[in-house]
Amino acid sequence: MSTEDSQTSVILCGPCGFRLQGDLQLSIYGLKVVSRDGTLSVKSQEIDCLSPLIKPTQRRYPQIGPGWFTLSIGTKELLIYELSVHSNEEMYRIYQTLNDYCNRENVSLLCALNYKPDFTFEEDGWHIFSLKREFADLLQRGECRISSVNVDYSICPSYPREILTLACISDDLLRESAQFRRDGRFPIITYYHPSKSTYIAVCAEALSVSRVGKTGLEASESSPGEFRSGAGLQTAAAAKCRVDEQLLAALLPASRRGTIIDLRVIQSKKKSSLGIEMDQFNPQWKRLSRPITEPSDIRSIFREFIQGNSSVVKSLSNYRPPFN
């Protein structure tokens, strides 16, 4: 099908017994089924998965008789629709067209640049979260401050222009710590628990010797805040940065230990040339490994969740309670 609107007679079935028979209109913005009873449209950026159903037994909705060929359409709103047409060739042509529209290489047609909402925006999104408002108590007590060290995104391109840090930590210390972390993602405060007076900070993994060891990122004993050049460190486990240790230690309450939660999967640790902070350099911290599931696995789990919910709805539709 071309990028021009195309029309064909179809049957669209959905949750809760929804059924609509009418003309199908396909365009770069999505699909629309129009009939005398109503209209339903699904935008291209809302479609999460497309799956041709080869056998009639694969259908979730039994409102379609024999002689129809069905395409399953899953959306990001946890809804599944089934679009049925008269011929197998027509169904695969619709599948290929929608698949092309949902995977556009032209960035100007992506959702972020080509989004046409059905509602009125009340906020632009930039001022929903404010450091000054969210951490007003910490700023007023002088425990923390807002740093503009990354105002031009030169320290870390993935951090905001303003970040929250402890008042005792200078911008120079943040710059030094960024050199020790992957992509410059030094520790920044993201949450404060007032009743326990504890912080949650996020940062990237430490750089290995091949990245920082050659410059000798080992501070002198007389000047823990300054680096001195020296011989390269021997192993990745020996890589350390006193400034980074000083920043982490400042986050801890008096006489208490902190927890470093490692979110990396084991495979990425083995393949990566990046190191970790050893316990001998951080005696006040304990380490927990809590790897995050890979995005591909999350997507598979998400689809199984949608399919499972649809199966429950289908099985309950024929259920009759034993009482009035």
pLDDT tens for each residue of 259-316: 989 888 765 555 554 455 555 556 788 888 888 887 778 878 877 776 666 554 444 4
Domain that holds residue 218: 131-289
52 vs 107: CA distance, rounded Å? 27
- Is residue 139 included in any domain, yes or no? yes
Residue 99 sits in the same domain as residue 244: no
Residue 156 sits in the same domain as residue 201: yes
Number of domains in the chain: 2
261 vs 258: CA distance, rounded Å? 10
Residue 231 in this model has a pLDDT that exceeds 90: no
* Percent helix / strand / coil, the chain, rounded to 5: 30, 25, 45
Radius of gyration in angstroms for the set of CA atoms belonging to the chain, rounded to a whole number? 28
* AA letter at 88: N
Residue 46 sits in the same domain as residue 158: no
Residue 136 in this model has a pLDDT that exceeds 80: yes
Q: What is the pLDDT of residue 57?
A: 81
* AA letter at 271: K
pLDDT tens for each residue of 53-89: 988 888 888 767 788 899 999 888 878 899 999 899 9
pLDDT tens for each residue of 80-114: 899 999 899 999 999 999 988 887 766 666 665 66
Strand partners, 199: 192
Residue 254 sits in the same domain as residue 114: no
Phi and psi at residue 126, in whole multiples of 5°? -75, -25
Rounded to the nearest integer, the mean pLDDT of the chain is 77
**DSSP alpha helix (H) spans, 107-261:** 131-134, 136-141, 171-180, 209-212, 242-250
Contact 140, 126 (CB under 8 A): no
169 vs 189: CA distance, rounded Å? 12
> DSSP class of residue 55?
S
Residue 151 sits in the same domain as residue 254: yes
3-state DSSP call for residue 178? helix
3-state DSSP call for residue 115? coil
Residue where the block lists tokens 């006193």: 242
Residue 142 sits in the same domain as residue 247: yes
Residue 87 sits in the same domain as residue 137: no
- Is residue 69 included in any domain, yes or no? yes
Residue 96 sits in the same domain as residue 156: no
What does the DSSP assignment read for 293-314?
PPHHHHHHHHHHHHHHHHHHHH
What's the CA dihedral at 136, 140, 141, 142 to 10 degrees?
100
Residue 73 sits in the same domain as residue 148: no
pLDDT tens for each residue of 177-225: 999 899 999 999 999 999 888 999 999 988 865 444 433 344 334 333 3
212 vs 219: CA distance, rounded Å? 13
